[in-house]
Amino acid sequence: MATNIKSRLYPLDRIRNIGIIAHIDAGKTTTTERILYYTGKTYKLGNIDEGTTVTDWMAQEKERGITIVSAAVTTFWTPTTGPYKDIESRINIIDTPGHVDFTAEVERSLRVLDGGVTVLDAEEGVQSQSETVWRQADKYKVPRLCFINKMDKLGADYFATLKSIRERLGAPAYPYNLPLGKENEFRGVIDLLSEKAYEWADDATGMKFSQAPIPDEDKANVKKYRHELVEKIAENDDVLLEKYLKGEELKIDEVKKALRKAVIDYKIVPVLAGSSLRNKGVQPLLDAIVEYLPSPLDITQIEGVNPKNNEKEVRKQDIDAPFCGLAFKIQIDPHVGKLTYVRVYSGTLKSGMSTLNATKRDRERIGRILLMYANTREEIPEAYAGEIIAVIGLKNTQTGDTLCSEGAPITLESISFPEPVIAMAIEPNTKADQEKLGYALNRLSEEDPTFRIKSDSETGQTIISGMGELHLEILVDRMKREFAVGAKVGSPQVAYKETIAKEATGEGKYIKQSGGRGQYGHCFLRVEPLPRGEGFQFKSEIRGGAIPSEFIPSIEKGVKEKMEMGVLAGYPMVDMKVAVYDGTYHDVDSSDIAFKIAGSIGFEEAVKKANLTLLEPIMKVEVTIPEEFMGDVIGDLSSKRAQILSSDHRANSVIITALVPLAEMSGYVTTLRSMTQGRGSTYMEPSHYQEVPQNITEKIVAKAKGETKDS
């Protein structure tokens, strides 16, 4: 393996920070492996089945053949044609997971990337997770290319996949190259702008390819799609449009320059074809990454907020500007400890430098700076604007925190993560495991913002929650392997939440007199429901000093603690606004603890009058089955309180999309296989929370109260 990463100042226009994003099994990791091979980063083609890939380096990834954590690698590519001919560019690649349980990895990667490559399966087309990652990329306005992979697969259909990109993703997708043959006849691609065909015929590694004549049967399609692409490019450039309308010939270099601008402005998404596993079509993808995806210079400035005055602040992506960067990932490394991945947006970061964590208002000293190559690394003295690096030595920095120069503070937009939907109890095997468990859980929750830990005050158990069964399974496995913790885990439980349906008020009074100084806290609270997903808001409406201002945070603390414990069935409470509007205090006996308890009592009284309801996670479920089983599967889903959204026919299969409560989906994979003679497959991702029907709520509440009595 080559490890000599060029740690020198690279011109910003020659840096590409890109992510490979897609549905599970579309071929992201294989595509990344081929990119590393053709750019000379590796000397051997990595294979997922053999566990020899660079970016899937964790033991669990090798065993399961899936990506779990996003891996960053740096490589270099010199295009042989076009405006960037013979100019070496540095490409920082992040290979992201495809499984929805690890959606946090995709979210935080997209937040710091300049461009993306969406990989699609030529037979399956746009799948559920493809839609999810596409929407995540839309949220962060990431320009992207589409790579239709697996063109050699039985049932591969380039044009059907192109149609699904346009229809399901609503993307302005236009073919940039067309496949030369398909299925076992797939041998290369036809470049539409140059009207040249390239064949990968003799070389098994795919390193060598040659120009070939365009087959007669493809000429009509080449003419049609080239005309469509050039017309769309010209539409987005006034100078080209004038020439185009006059019928003048457009030079390829000026067309490519206009296409680059259109891609960066998300007016065009170029679509390329290939087969990463069969080593065909990857080099044109690399050329397109360099030619069309943005460099840090194309996103000239980033916006943030000045923490001193909360006013909007703009920072230029320039090495001469004051330093600022975003910590987007924490990784616990067994050799060097805590690694913090940072995207440097402006200025220069040097080892030993003192910086400000603007999010925490805390000083942090930069220890060592590393260039990452998956799980291997090279130490460098400094990093510049546009680079993605890892830092050792940061103590209090977490995912989403902004690091900046102390003299020029700025807070960048943080990263939002979805709420966990499933929970399980975990208990250490021995007293020695008890201490190790706490350490391991804290370390893993530092790494993963969607992994939550809480203690159940009733049972004394530790409850861990995450994005799905696989997510928790992997984390428990890591706990045992990496931290040597022996622990027993309970069966997965649905992460219900509680909320209110109407406005109500409550009074909280806590008076304790037992000789000496007493305790006195008294407040009136109002609770109001908020729309789904709005979280929690607390407001003080105290006028005239009815309660001194120093006790207001104590009331809020009491409310929050009660919300965490739940009132109806012991589940956390969400989506409500709480206002303290009146109360009384005692000059001597009032204290923080008294008002905290009063806040908790008043809140409980108010919510009990506010129509308490349970919320449950609803999953978006996609089931792919042979046509003959469609009736049985839809009937079974309907019995699980499913709302059927659509059923799409593709080749001999039917794809059923439905919204189903997570509580009904336990063991569904086994049920589906037995119903479809082992030929059905399913995919599930969190969609939203909604109210649980009254009859089911009653059962859950009765069960929760019964368990509390038993314990």
Nearest alpha-carbon partner for 317 in 330, 334, 299, 333: 299
97 is known to lie in a ligand binding site? yes
- Asked if 271 contacts 175 with a C-beta cutoff of 8 angstroms, the reply is yes
| Burial class of residue 706 (count of CB atoms within 10 Å of its CB; 0-12, 13-18, 19+) | exposed
151 is known to lie in a ligand binding site? yes
53 is known to lie in a ligand binding site? no
Q: How far apart are CA 255 and CA 259, in angstroms?
A: 6
Residue 93 pairs with which residues in a beta bridge?
A: 18, 73
3-class SS letters over 66-104: CCCCCEEEEEEECCCCCCCCCCCEEEEEEECCCCHHHHH
Helices (H) and strands (E) in the chain, counts: 16, 38
Which secondary-structure segment (H or E) carries 116? strand 115-121
98 is known to lie in a ligand binding site? yes
- Asked if 41 contacts 2 with a C-beta cutoff of 8 angstroms, the reply is yes
Q: Cα-flanking dihedrals φ and ψ of residue 703, to 5°?
A: -65, -45
DSSP 401-468: -EEE-TTS--EE-----PPP-EEEEEEESSHHHHHHHHHHHHHHHHH-TT-EEEE-TTT--EEEEESS
Nearest alpha-carbon partner for 448 in 137, 121, 97: 97
49 is known to lie in a ligand binding site? no
- Asked if 395 contacts 330 with a C-beta cutoff of 8 angstroms, the reply is no
Tokens of 664: 């009904």
546 is known to lie in a ligand binding site? no
Instruction: For residue 335, give Cα distances in angstroms to 331, 466, 484.
Output: 11, 27, 16
586 is known to lie in a ligand binding site? no
256 is known to lie in a ligand binding site? no
Q: How far apart are CA 495 and CA 466, in angstroms?
A: 9
Tokens of 439: 């350490």
- Asked if 75 contacts 15 with a C-beta cutoff of 8 angstroms, the reply is no
Cβ atoms within 10 Å of 263's Cβ, excluding its own: 26
Tokens of 489: 């885990």
579 is known to lie in a ligand binding site? no
32 is known to lie in a ligand binding site? no
516 is known to lie in a ligand binding site? no
362 is known to lie in a ligand binding site? no
- Strands (DSSP E) found in 173-263: 173-175, 177-180, 188-191, 196-199, 210-212
522 is known to lie in a ligand binding site? no
- Asked if 551 contacts 542 with a C-beta cutoff of 8 angstroms, the reply is no
31 is known to lie in a ligand binding site? no
Nearest alpha-carbon partner for 367 in 385, 346, 353, 384: 353
237 is known to lie in a ligand binding site? no
24 is known to lie in a ligand binding site? yes
Q: How far apart are CA 468 and CA 424, in angstroms?
A: 11
What contacts 696, CB < 8 A, 6 or more positions away?
663
96 is known to lie in a ligand binding site? yes
Binding residues: 22-29, 95-99, 149-152
Binding-site residue positions for GTP: 22-29, 95-99, 149-152
